[in-house]
Amino acid sequence: MGYARTAILLAGLTALFLGVGYMIGGGQGAVIAFLAALAMNAYAYWNSDKAVLRMYGAREVDARTAPEFYGIVQQLAARANMPMPRVYIIDEDQPNAFATGRDPQHAAVAATRGLLRLMSPEEVAGVMAHELAHVAHRDTLVMTVTATIAGALSMLANFAFLFAGNRDDRNPLGAIGTLLLVIVAPFAAMIVQFAISRSREFEADRLGAEIAGRPQWLASALAKLHNAAQRVPNVTAEHHPATAHLFIVNPLGGRRNLMEMFSTHPPMEERIRRLQAMAGQPAAAPKPGPWSRI
């Protein structure tokens, strides 16, 4: 159900983008918008992971420079039958983490210094299992495409406002319609982007709990992360709010959303409730992990 919903939302976002192109330049405008979307997504496909890691000053680590953290990720990847991702640490006090990369063969996971200080080894395992679930589901690629189309749609709507007034022959809505388009299109794109992000978080929580073998580890970590995000700022995320959906909890947690639909993440209480429900179900004992030896 989660994948079907994501596909429908992505299709709707793409249709909205093409519709704005049509409003600006008719059939030719729609074709140009489609080609522009292809070009932007091709660039994002190959370069988005490098860009976001540079943006946050992430430092790659290995078994020698961060043996405990690297070992946890290594065993989790083995449990999930996934390629070993590159592992990064971000010099940020706010406890948080994210995954990036276009597919499991080109993936990276990153945790902040604050997360590694605050969490127990078991909780770190729960968090990183969640991030590996995003990689397994290719959520990083989906969210990159979504963010790219949403950003391009806002730019296209502004272009319509500046130039479509001189081309009313191609714009059936006229000046008032164009003004409404400028307001409504980016707003609709934002809602779709956030809806996709929220649906993928629930799926990553579920699979991450299965990978780690103990849903309560992730539930405990989420409670700590949510509380810390309300108190500890993430300066880089505040300067680049479009990246907020990448993190396991909203790094802009100190900002109160006017409505729940404007949040990049589902309600924390619901995420924790679902994990606790999983923990209450009979489950096979997990294989030993590096967290049991730290």
Query: Where in the sequence numbering do the catalytic residues fall?
Result: 131
Exposure of 16 in the CB half-sphere (CA atoms within 13 A): 27
d(CA 186, CA 190): 6
Helix (H, G, I), strand (E, B) or coil at 61: strand
Please count the other Cβ atoms lying within 10 Å of the Cβ belonging to residue 31.
14
Instruction: List strands edge to edge, sheet with 59-61.
Output: 59-61, 86-90, 108-112, 97-100
Confirm if 192 and 78 have CB atoms less than 8 A apart: no
- Alpha-helix runs per DSSP H in the chain: 2-55, 67-79, 113-118, 121-136, 139-163, 174-212, 215-231, 235-239, 268-279
CA nearest neighbour of 246 among 143, 146, 151: 143
